[in-house]
Structure formats: structure tokens, C-alpha cells
Chain A
């Protein structure tokens, strides 16, 4: 595991002389260093040293975790990372935000240029495509999110719903928090220890209720999350049936996270009551994970397609094709203008017409001469990319 350190990684990377552009992404379980360089092999060795220097594992262990990609394979990898195909939990949404942060950091430190700007923006587009065209991120892959999805399936909007949290536990806590972020606006807390309930209520900004009033409280809540350490049922079927009668059959969603169970399974047979226990929720999560893997195949196809597009763009960044298309564009304009002037040129003698054509094309050549020579010179020096990019942008050479 590599984690936060004090030195500024981007500055360290830029100290490697061959590196022209750099981007550094560090999350809890990955470190990525992206660089554009004029000498790949030498740079890789130096980058390795940089990474090893900052890690807290032995060199052998580091070597095992390390992967190195070049050129479009590196781009493919970056696309996969941004689209969350490469994540531990495939499709998790945080990674894109982390890539965006890393990019912002690089831009602020002026370590990006033509290549990384293009690649990163392209990666954002790919991530968006993967998100909208596949269902990779659409199904809950954690128990607490599965609970939120179910609640929405039952109640539609979660606004104006009330949760009752019975007992304490990491998972029930998380589920309650997710429900709150999805609109639930009232929470009640019951605990065998009333003091603990009060403390939790303060934390959740809810209200504490006495444990022996559970049956009564069921009347006023819509979602119950229970995770006590009790050996027997905390909520039995009669309590639920009676509460349902008093609440005029309003739908009731019971979530039993406890082992052994807190809620009598018979309660789930009552009309308008939906009971899910931790195993049911876990099954949903497992199935969703499986379907994400299927979606990942679609995502890989999208990424293949986008890498191809990237390759196409990258090839256009060579000097000769750029000069050719610049010439083609200029000559196209010249021809178009001459055609437009055909009307009045009718009055000229063939010789005069010839002279006009010679005049215009020599102006064109003179104008283009210096930029083309400059480009050729820069390509000898290795710093031609920004010029090509600028030229293509200024003369709109990429729009067909």
C-alpha cells in the first residue's frame, strides 16, 4: 500500500529530465504515474525508483504489484481506470472523481500538455460513455445500497419517510446514513441502553425511543433496520400485524441485519409488509456483482473503440501529415476563391488569367513557407507536439 506522503509527487516526477508531461493519481489501493516522455526506457527506470522510494513495501513486493504500459496500451489502461473497470469493486463511482482531482492538480502545477490534456479529457468521455451505455454502475453492490434500492422500489421517493434504527452496528449505521442521503428525513433510534440511544440520536439528529415501546413505534415508521445482539426476536409477527392495522395498512419495509434474527420471518408474510434479512440482501449484492462482470465485457468493447479513435488522433500528430493537410486546406481555399471569381475573370485574356493564378498561389506559398520550415526544425528538436496541436486547432485541420 502506498499512501499519502509529504513531498509533492508531481514535482518529483518533473525532475526526471526526459519527462515532458506528468499526472499522478493516488487512491487507497492504487498509485498511477502517467508521463509523456522522449525516452521511454530510461524514464521507466527512473519512475520505478520514484515509486519505490515513496512506498513502504520491499522492492520485491513492489515489483510484483507494478505494471508498466507504453503508448496506446497505457492509454487503454488509463481509460479502464477512469471507467472503473480496473477497480476492486468494478463500477464504483469514486474513481472518476479521483482522476479528475489528479488532473486538476496536474493542471494547477502546469505539468500537463497537449498529450495528457487530450488523453485525460478523452478518458472522461470514455468513462461517461461506459456509464451511460452499460449498466455497470446501475445495481447496488453493497448491502446498504441494496437496502436503499429496495426502499425506493417500495416507496418511490424516500422523502417524508421515517426510519427506525434498532440496536447499533456498522452495517445498520451505514444503511441508515445512505437512506438519509437519499431523502429520508426522520429517524428514530431504539437501544437496550437508553443512554446509547440518546447518544446515537444526537449523532443522527433523530430522536431516541424506549426499547419497550417498539410495538407502539412501529405504527409511525416506514422503514425498520434492526441489528441487535438479542438471542430471540425483538419484533414478532403480532406486533407487526397490530401496528399495520393501526397505521391503516401503510406499507412497511423491515430490514433484519442481525444474526440470530431480530424479526420473526412470519412478519414478512403479512400483506403490505416487506421483510428482508441480511442473507437476502447479500444475495442481491452477489447477483449484481455477477451482472457487473457481464457489463464489463460491453465496457471493454467501448474502450477498444475509443482507443482506436485515440490512435487515429495520435497519428495525426505527426509532422508530415499535418503539413500535407495544411497545404490541402490552403489550396482548397485558393481553388474555391478562384472558382468564385470566374465571372469577372471571363473578361481577362488567358494570359492575364494565368498571371492571376500564379500571383495568388505564390502569396499562398510565401505565407505557408515560414510555418512549415519552423515545424520541420522543431521536429528535429523533439518539441514539435504543441506546435502541431496548435496548428491543427488554429486551421481547423481536424474537422474533416
Chain B
């Protein structure tokens, strides 16, 4: 009797994500933080329903390895929202939602196109290594997405303060230090998660493909992005980079990652495509 309940809840969550995004964007237009505050509640509500929808999916269809592209996107959006909401409690970065919420909404829309239906897993993908690989990697990547959102907003605010345009728009944006803190925390947590995710993936690859490394386009691009992040994190932690430069680099690094996530997946022939 609960059949399709997950899809229904997913659609409800999607609509509330849309409302939250609209609210955040209009908070910039009317220049009132109060509107953003209400939007945060909408985002929290959408997140809760999204969570329940995922739980329903697990109950109905069994533990999912999040292997299909739509499921990936949905999970990605879920992690991003969770992290943003958690950080929101700690910092004065309410207006950051103006970037996060629409991104999450777009991910959800893309995911909804092909959501639902049972996927028959090829035997090679069964076992616990694959879901672990996907879960860790996606969580790491979602944190990087959040880091780049904070980076974008940092660059805008930095530019406004430097050019002495501090009256209108800048008033709404979060303080620089808070954005930098979010950028830092997301990189700090995202990196070990993605690293572990990649390692788990290559352990699986050894059993499934017979080797740890295959020069597959997806692997190459992800490795490049990973190296980029490794350098960035090193500069931040060891050399004490702060503010402008790491914000810029975290955006560039994320573009690499996005390339491996979307473009390679869609347009390249890759051994990393399964369904």
C-alpha cells in the first residue's frame, strides 16, 4: 500500500525546495533577511520530507546502492542540504542558501526525470563495497559543492568590500570570515571522504576488473580533481592560505570535479558506466 509513496514524497520535497529557492532569491530582491529566514525553514521542511522519501525507498525496494544517475543526484542534494543546514546553525550565513537552495532544487529536478522503477543490479555491483564507494564519494563531492558555493559568495563579498560598494547588496551577504570558515570546513571534511571513497572504489575494481587503475576517463578526471583538492588543502592547512585565493581555487577544483561527474558520465565511453 505504500508503493510509490517515495515518489510522491519526493515530488512534495521537490516543490518545497522550489518554494525555498524562490524565497531565498526574493530575499535578495526585497533585501530583507527575514524572507531568507523563512526560506531556511522551507529548506529544512523539504529536507525532512526528502529524508523520509529516501527511507521509504529503502523500505520498499531494499537498501539501494545509489548506483543510478538520478539516485546519485538525489543523494548529492540531500548531503548538501544536510551540511548546509548544520553549518547554518553555527554561522551567520543565512543568505548562502540563495546559492545552495537553487542548486539543490536543480539537482532534484534532474534526478526526478528518471526516478523510480526497480533496477536489476548486475551481479558485479552486488555486495557492500559499491554502496560504500558511492556513498563516501558523493558525500565528499557534495561537501566540495558547498565549499564552492561559499567560495562564490566569498568572491562576491570580497569584491564588493574591496571596491567600497558596501551599502545595498553587500549588506545581505554573510561576513567574509564565516564564508571562509565554511569553505575550510567543507574542504577539510570532504577530502578524506572522497579519498576513502576512491580507495574503496579501487579495491572493488581490483576484484571486479582485476586491476586498481584502468586509465578510464572518469578515473583520470576524478584523479585530476582530487590532486587539485589535495594541493588546495595543503596550501590551506600547511601554508595558511585564507580568504580570496582558496575561495577561487575551490571553485576551479569543483569545475574539474563537475566535469568528471557529469560530462564524462554523459559523453565519454567509460568503464565506469553501469546502467
Contact = CB atoms under 8 A, between A and B. Distances in A.
Interface stretch (A175-183, A231-239, A243-251): A243-251
A274 interface: yes
A345 interface: no
Nearest to B161: A274
B166 A284 contact: yes
Contacts of B166: 149-150, 153, 284
Interface in A274-301: 274, 276, 280, 283-284, 287-288, 291
B162 A139 contact: no
A154 B175 contact: yes
A352 to B, nearest CB: 62
B18 interface: no
B175 A156 contact: yes
Interface string B205-221: 00000000000000000
From A154, A276, A283, residue with most partner B Cβ within 10 Å: A154
Given A249-B242, A249-B243, A271-B243, A154 B162 contact: no
Contacts of A249: 240-243, 245
Nearest to B168: A291
Interface string B165-178: 01100110011111
A206 interface: no
A287 B239 CA distance: 40
B229 to A, nearest CB: 19
A155 interface: yes
B165 to A, nearest CB: 10
Contact of B167 (A248, A272, A291): A291
B178 A156 contact: yes
A280 B167 CA distance: 12
Interface string B229-246: 000000000011111110
Contacts of A156: 91-92, 174-178
A248 B240 contact: yes
Nearest to B31: A135
Which A-B residue pairs are the 6 nearest by beta carbons? A248-B240, A156-B175, A249-B242, A272-B243, A271-B244, A156-B178
A137 B161 CA distance: 22
Interface of B: 91-92, 157, 161-162, 164, 166-167, 170-171, 174-178, 180, 239-245
Given A251-B177, A251-B243, A268 B162 contact: yes
Nearest to B180: A251
A139 B167 CA distance: 8
A153 B161 contact: yes
A155 B177 contact: yes
From B171, B177, B178, residue with most partner A Cβ within 10 Å: B177
Interface in A144-173: 149-150, 152-156
A283 B242 contact: no
Nearest to B174: A156
Nearest to A277: B164
A268 B164 CA distance: 11
Given A139-B171, A284-B164, 16 more contacts: A153-B157, A153-B166, A153-B170, A153-B175, A154-B175, A154-B177, A155-B176, A156-B174, A249-B241, A249-B242, A249-B243, A251-B177, A251-B243, A272-B242, A287-B167, A288-B167
Interface residues of A, number: 23
A139 B31 CA distance: 13
Interface in A251-278: 251, 268, 271-272, 274, 276
Q: Which applies to chain A's interface (DSSP): helix, strand, loop or mixed?
A: helix
A272 B162 CA distance: 9
A155 B240 contact: no
B149 to A, nearest CB: 17
A288 B174 CA distance: 20
Nearest to A154: B176
A185 B35 CA distance: 33
Nearest to A283: B164
A284 B161 CA distance: 12
A280 B164 contact: yes
Interface string A29-41: 0000000000000
B244 A152 contact: no
B245 to A, nearest CB: 6
B242 A251 contact: yes
Contacts of A276: 164
A280 B164 CA distance: 7
A150 B157 CA distance: 12
From A149, A155, A156, residue with most partner B Cβ within 10 Å: A156
A15 B92 CA distance: 56
A155 B175 CA distance: 6
Contacts of A271: 243-245
A156 B164 CA distance: 18
Contact of B244 (A248, A250, A268, A272): A272
14 contacts: A153-B175, A154-B175, A154-B176, A154-B177, A155-B175, A155-B177, A156-B176, A250-B242, A251-B243, A272-B242, A272-B244, A274-B161, A276-B164, A280-B164
B167 A251 contact: no
Contacts of B239: 248
Given A271-B245, A272-B244, A284-B167, A251 B162 contact: no
Contacts of B243: 249, 251, 271-272
A288 B168 CA distance: 10
B137 to A, nearest CB: 30
A319 B164 CA distance: 62
B34 to A, nearest CB: 10
Given A248-B240, A251-B177, A274 B162 contact: yes
Nearest to A274: B161
A249 B235 CA distance: 11
Contacts of B240: 248-249
A107 to B, nearest CB: 34
A250 B239 CA distance: 12
